[in-house]
Amino acid sequence: MTTVPQRRALDAHRRRLAERGLGRFEVRGLASDKALLRDLARRLAAGDEAAGALRADLARRLGGETPKVGGILAALRRSPLVGTDLELAREESAGRDAGL
């Protein structure tokens, strides 16, 4: 349990971090990756040109690209069925008796 001065110091520290645009995150992973993740977070938090390049490279490698607008339409236009004369109309029927 923390004392009031400890709590106040922790709150002040977190407020200073927030003013710098930094946040705290909890992640789960292998214990052997702890040092690697801390180093990665430290380099990304630097906010310099190298951090931007690292961020872009990670986003590209992890597939974090933002989806493009019209992606479904473009996929439909690439379909091998484009240009074929398909009859997509269904026969109309009265339905069936549900017997309720």
What does pLDDT average to in each consecutive run of 10 residues of the chain (100 residues)? 90 92 89 94 90 89 72 83 83 84
Q: How far apart are CA 62 and CA 54, in angstroms?
A: 12
Taking the CB of residue 27, how many other CB atoms lie within 10 A of it? Answer: 8
The confidence score (pLDDT) of residue 64 equals: 59
What is the 8-class DSSP label of residue 79?
Answer: S
Name the residue among 47, 48, 65 with its Cα closest to residue 56: 65
The confidence score (pLDDT) of residue 23 equals: 86
What is the 8-class DSSP label of residue 87?
Answer: -
The confidence score (pLDDT) of residue 24 equals: 86
Q: How far apart are CA 39 and CA 45, in angstroms?
A: 10
